Structure 1
Amino acid sequence: MAWYHTYFKGLPQRAWKLHQDEEYTDYEVDFLRDVLEITPESKVLDLLAGYGRHALPLAAQGTALTCIDISQEYCEELQNISSQQQLPVEVICADVLNYTLPEAHFDAAYCFGNSFSFFPRAEMQQFIHQMASALKAFAHVAIHTENLAESILPNFQARNWMPVQEDIVYLAENEYRAEGGYIEAEQTFIAGSEKVTHSVRQHIYTLGELTYMFELAGLTVVGTFSNLEADPFMLGDEQLYLVARKG
């Protein structure tokens, strides 16, 4: 069983949510509306949706969202909020690799939140194909990642730590396995007397690899940006926003 099947619950899940910046999320939502050409009539697919920090504000403006995530806790939270607010959100709690999405059904899709490093290369190609097949012709897709090779490797850190809100501390020991193209990490979360440690494997892709994999799935990359102002991505930039079009 892959690490992400059991990671997103309890203290790590709480730490991830507390680490998010609501104002920055609003900017990302505006970015998604723009680059994906989302309208209130659009049907949008949110892959690895988490607790719906992008889906909920999009749905609040009338856009129909289909959200898929593996975390039972996140899915329940998203379902409860969308039901209470009567938002057009369908929540699917499943491993996306084992779930059959409807073909040519969605007007747009996205995978945000730095989730685009969970899968090894064969499974990543499968994931991209699934995403592409679910889109209508000429629809757009956007991804976000901070784990691109051009971002990680120039300033690789074997150890790092970070304080989180509510007195949570995050620590990580990282080892880059060049032969497999991934980082093997031991991540520890500490809050008072509570301590949780997970072994995590994050697969590191070059931008060239991702572009090729998207092309194999029938997706043409039309933009690679380092920020929400759409500055071109360059070596050493901390994150990538990639936009592609089907067909």
Structure 2
Amino acid sequence: MSQSPSSDWYSDFFSYLPNEFWRRAVPPEATQADIDFIERELDLAPESRILDVPCGSGRHTLGLAARGHRVTGIDLSHEAITHARRTAETSGLTADFVQADMRETPRDGSYDAIVCMGNSFGYLDYPDLRTFLEGLSSTVRSGGGLVVDFMATAESLLPGYGDDPRTMQTGDITAVVASRYDVTDSCQISDYTFSRGDEVFRAEARHHVYTSAQIGHLLTDAGFTDVRRFAGPEGEPYEFGSSRMLLTARRA
């Protein structure tokens, strides 16, 4: 199966093989470190109402629910949402999962916090990202918090950028990825091949690249303030060349 890297490439990408690969690839302790960061940096009160968007297979949604928070996860992938609901049931956890586009958030200002994890921030081009953030601003209450996890910030991606193919293995699933940089649209296009025995899934993914300053301006324009940047869940400062940016902000 193959898709062109259109603006909505993610609508077909996240089927079983890619989802299962990433479910296996991230160790539980990494998720717990993220949850610690979210609770600490947003100073979450007990039983906070949190939106996880997009939530993927629900690892952060369920991790926050296990801490006693009231969490809703939104994701477009039917396979991911089905897996998340099944995991919640077998784990005895309470969380709501909604299959929807990440831009379709409830704009009722009822959430205490929003988390956007897993490098999904770059799925959207500039106009759609602006719309997404404006929606988040209407979804979270005044003074509520936001966490963004992004690895395709220009300051992270471009230093030492290379396009050599990489091979990754998790159990019996192999992923081969070859990336190229589109200077016209400022985005990284990645050719993925996931395989397990005779089962093969091929697709292209597009991650738009934004500078740290652009992201800050977009958040400010959308009504957020107190923007802070970290290089990881331990709270280390984000610097040029850091491989990951964890950003926090508050709804003004």
Interval of TM-score (by shorter of Structure 1 and Structure 2): over 0.9
Asked whether the 8 Å contact 1:182–1:201 carries over to 2, the reply is: yes
Q: Show the counterpart of 1:218.
A: 223
> Which amino acid in 2 is paired with 1:227?
G
TM superposition shift of 1:224: 0.3
Change (3 A) 1:195 1:100: closer
Partner of residue 176, structure 1: 181
Q: Is the 8 A contact 2:167 2:177 kept in 1?
A: no
String of CA shifts for 1:85-143, please: whole Å, max 9, x gaps.
Answer: 4533111101122x251321100111111111100000011111111110111111001
The one of 118, 121, 125 aligned to 2:126 = 121
Distance 1:65 1:37 in 2: 16
Task: After superposition, give the CA deviation of every residue in 1:20-54 in whole Å (9 maximum; x if it has no partner).
Answer: 11111111111111112223321001011011111
Contact 2:105–2:136 (8 Å) recurs in 1: no
- Counterpart Cα distance in 2 of 1:222 and 1:238: 19
Which 5+ residue runs of structure 2 have no aligned equivalent? 1-5
Pick aligned residue for 1:7 from 2, 13, 19: 13
Q: In the alignment, is residue 52 of structure 1 matched against residue 58 of structure 2? A: yes
| Residue pair 1:15, 1:168 contacting (<8 A) in 2 also | yes
TM-score (normalised: structure 2): 0.92
Q: Is the 8 A contact 2:107 2:136 kept in 1?
A: no
Instruction: Confirm or deny: 8 A CA contact 1:146 1:152 kept in the other structure.
Output: yes
Correspondence for 1:138 among 143, 150, 162:
143
- Residue matched to 2:79: 73
2:244 to 239, 244, 247: 239
Confirm whether residue 33 of structure 1 aligns to residue 39 of structure 2.
yes
Q: Secondary structure at the match of 2:123?
A: coil
Q: 1:172 to 1:163 in 2, by over 3 A?
A: closer
CA contact (8 A) 1:59 1:88 kept: yes
Count of residues in correspondence between the two structures: 246
- Which segments of 5 or more consecutive residues in structure 1 lack a partner in the other structure? none
Match of 1:204 among 204, 209, 212: 209
Deviation at 1:18, TM superposition (A): 1.0
The answer to which of 136-145 and 158-167 deviates more is 158-167
| Residues 78-87 or 224-233, more deviating | 78-87
Number of the residue aligned with 2:166: 161
Amino acid at match of 1:95: D
Separation in structure 2 between the aligned mates of residue 151 and residue 187 of structure 1, nearest angstrom: 21
Q: Distance in 1 between matches of 2:105 and 2:65?
A: 23
Output the CA distance in 1 between the equivalents of 2:94 and 2:139. Answer: 19
Amino acid at match of 1:182: C
